[in-house]
């Protein structure tokens, strides 16, 4: 039976990913949107969550797709109303906020799901299984994309809490924290921050996984080929490569492997299972790596960003 769900924040990610995934699945039925602007055709829209709770159709769950700066307060209100909550990534503006939401959801007996959507990419689980029991000795992460192409008009990225290039970069970190056999930590970070922004447009990190050092290249200024690639080398001499945002897996010189999949179909299937079991899945590991990078980073000012 489909559970009634409302989407909070009817922006690009909701329109491109959440709404099609809900429509294609059988776990949830979209009964409303919550957005101070326009909603979507044929679905009731409410200016805020209080208005939905007071006058709208009954919802059992919400998917919060607002900019991250707003998510914490909305999630607290939703949990207090007894709703199950799915949080787009990053799940909160700070680690403390995510921990508080987790405690609140546990006390209320509702589900809280931090939906790291790229963990549901086609080849992540195969990569995790292949790496299990192996020792990573090296590798690299390259996540370079055009902010103008993928995030047009999203000025919240450059405000405090908006994460800048870490908004896509945290996707790579969500994969790494899922597939690496050993824990990860930030060794060093260098950030390029536009003169008119609070958050970085590029980041160079060094990650440690055991004794392995893994250089990381995040860049929002890529006007050429878009690159979303993770390479990991193991002590037994093998090389694993996840490319196209983990849609393709290549091991050594073997032919690349992939299969049709939908990340957000996986997200909503997982959310449905969590709701059925009244469980919480709110892994803070990717957000912790970003927070640590910001703590240790050297920062350089670069040219102002103009849309």
| Whether 89 is catalytic | yes
- Pairwise CA distance, residues 112 & 71, whole Å: 13
- Pairwise CA distance, residues 137 & 208, whole Å: 10
- Pairwise CA distance, residues 18 & 15, whole Å: 6
- The CA-to-CA distance between both ends of the chain, in Å, stands at 44
The tokens of 120 are what?
A: 């549901």
CB-facing half-sphere around the CA of 257: CA atoms within 13 A: 14
- Pairwise CA distance, residues 88 & 117, whole Å: 8
- Pairwise CA distance, residues 154 & 66, whole Å: 11
Task: Decide if 196 contacts 305 (C-beta within 8 A).
Answer: yes
Nearest to 106 by CA among 281, 285, 280: 280
Task: Decide if 274 contacts 281 (C-beta within 8 A).
Answer: yes
Three-state secondary-structure class, residue 32: strand
What φ, ψ does residue 278 adopt, rounded to 5°? 55, 45
Residue with tokens 């299990």: 132
DSSP string, 223-263: -SS-EEEEEEEETTS-EEEEETTTTEEEETTSPPB-----H
Among 71, 89, 117, 144, the active-site one is: 89
Active site residues: 89
């Amino acid at each position: 039976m489909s559970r009634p769900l409302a989407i909070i924040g009817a922006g690009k990610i909701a329109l491109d990913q959440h709404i099609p995934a809900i429509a294609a699945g059988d776990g949830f039925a979209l009964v409303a949107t919550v957005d101070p602007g326009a909603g979507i055709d044929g679905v009731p829209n409410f200016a805020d969550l209080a208005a939905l709770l007071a006058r709208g159709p009954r919802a059992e769950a919400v998917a919060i797709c607002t900019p991250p700066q707003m998510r914490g307060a909305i999630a607290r209100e939703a949990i207090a109303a007894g709703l199950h909550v799915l949080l787009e990534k990053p799940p909160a503006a700070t680690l403390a906020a995510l921990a508080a939401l987790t405690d609140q959801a546990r006390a209320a007996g509702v589900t809280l799901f931090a939906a790291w959507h790229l963990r549901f990419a086609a080849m992540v689980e195969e990569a995790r299984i292949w790496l299990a029991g192996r020792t990573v000795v090296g590798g690299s992460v390259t996540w370079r994309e055009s902010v103008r192409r993928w995030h047009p008009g999203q000025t919240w990225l450059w405000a405090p809490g908006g994460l800048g290039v870490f908004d896509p970069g945290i996707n790579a970190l969500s994969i790494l924290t899922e597939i690496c056999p050993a824990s990860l930590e930030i060794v060093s970070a260098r950030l390029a921050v536009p003169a008119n922004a609070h958050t970085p447009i590029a980041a160079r990190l060094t990650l440690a996984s055991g004794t392995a050092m893994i250089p990381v290249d995040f860049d929002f200024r890529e006007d050429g080929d878009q690159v979303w690639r993770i390479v990991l080398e193991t002590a037994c001499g093998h090389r694993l490569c996840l490319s196209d945002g983990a849609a393709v897996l290549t091991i050594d010189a073997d032919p690349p492997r992939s299969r049709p999949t939908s990340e957000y179909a996986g997200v909503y299937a997982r959310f449905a299972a969590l709701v059925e079991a009244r469980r919480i899945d709110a892994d803070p590991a990717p957000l912790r790596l970003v927070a640590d990078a910001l703590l240790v980073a050297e920062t350089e000012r670069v040219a102002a960003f103009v849309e």
